[in-house]
Amino acid sequence: MKKIMLYPFNEEFIPLINHCNMLQNMDIVSIVSLKGNGYLGDKYTLKGKLVEVSEDFDMQLKDCSDILCFTSGKEDIDKVIFLNVEKAVSCGKKIIFFDDLSLAFKKFKELVPISQQVIIPNLFTNSFETQGQLYNINTPVIFVCSAYEGLNKFDIQLALRKSFLNANYRLLQIGTRQGCELFNFHSFPKFMYDNTLTEKKKILLFNNWLKKLEIEYTPDIIILGISGGAIPFSAKAFGDFGITLYEILQAVDPDCTILSLPYGKYEKEDILFWENFIKRKFNIEVDYYNIAPKVILKQSTESSGQPAYLRLDEKIVNTKIEELSMENIYNLLDVTEVKRLTKNIVDQFSKYGSINSV
């Protein structure tokens, strides 16, 4: 069992902490953040043990065998991270990072000796070629998407994975980000971000790859986490304009769609607005909504061009859900709510004879 340090700690690591029991052959023993990041002193329960976020890299280094560095998608990395990684390498520690296309990944490969690199591979094979046609996907497909990035999509995917597996369903799953292989399923394929490919090629590749996996896995259910947001927040913070969701929709039709929203002072009319908006824009029905315990910070989002949020107590979300009194709205960070959603999805699919109720 590898003893893992998470470094540099940020919100991207939280799903790994929340679902640490699902990690393959890894035991998180320490969490280290950069100074001034606002996480110092935060406490998390990991397999029954309380672990506190530290800023003392040197102190925590002695307790781990490997360091999991999350750099996916980042081009500019703080120099102190490279200095600490060099220090860890000199102490014989192995460095785990994800196989991605970022400049940071290339820099890390140069920094760490091959014998101390542990690269989590993207399971998609680059040699895969399209067959020049679209295939029907016969297994019921669940889409997990969000209005904007940063709304707990990966937490939702992991929670659904655990719930369906516990109910003895066979799953084929593709997640929204790199590193899904840590949980024994597929990361979102890198070719979807490849600017050298045409959009037509990407759609055909995704459909053909998904069909190939469907044949290999013979799953009861397919869960697809859709990278990116469904809509731009504004003219200055636009994400990917919903392009990824649009492209995946050309490759496969969802049988069930879950949309994660930021917290807001919603009335029923606001939820209906989202329902109608998504239907007009993408021609799909939203079956279920998640309200994330995050309120979007407009000024910070506008200035950075990326969604910025204030984290809320989940009790605030639960109160809002009670006020709305709508059966298709959930707080999917709550295990009980995940079980309720799982049952409702199974009942939904069973009505159409897609799967058998367990």
- 3-state SS of 265-300 is CCCHHHHHHHHHHHHHHHCCCCCEEEECCEEECHHH
- The average pLDDT across 332-351 equals 96
More reliable by pLDDT, 7 or 70: 7
- The average pLDDT across 27-51 equals 90
Q: Do the two domains 2-120 and 141-351 of this chain adopt the same fold?
A: yes
Burial pattern 176-201, b for ≥16 Cβ within 10 A else e, equals bbbbbbbbebbbbbebbeeeeeeeee
Class of domain 141-351: alpha beta
Q: State residue 258's pLDDT score.
A: 98
* Residue 323 CB coordination number (10 Å): 12
Domain chopping of the chain, boundaries:
2-120, 141-351
Tens of pLDDT, residue by residue over 170-224, are 999 999 988 899 999 999 998 898 889 999 999 999 999 999 999 999 999 999 9
Q: State residue 75's pLDDT score.
A: 46
Residue 126 has pLDDT above 70, yes or no: no
Tens of pLDDT, residue by residue over 129-144, are 777 899 999 999 999 9
Tens of pLDDT, residue by residue over 97-118, are 876 656 666 777 788 999 998 8
Least confident of 114-128, 225-239, 245-259, 306-320: 114-128
Cβ atoms of 154 and 204 closer than 8 Å:
no
Q: What is the CATH number of domain 2-120?
A: 3.40.50.720
- The average pLDDT across 244-268 equals 97
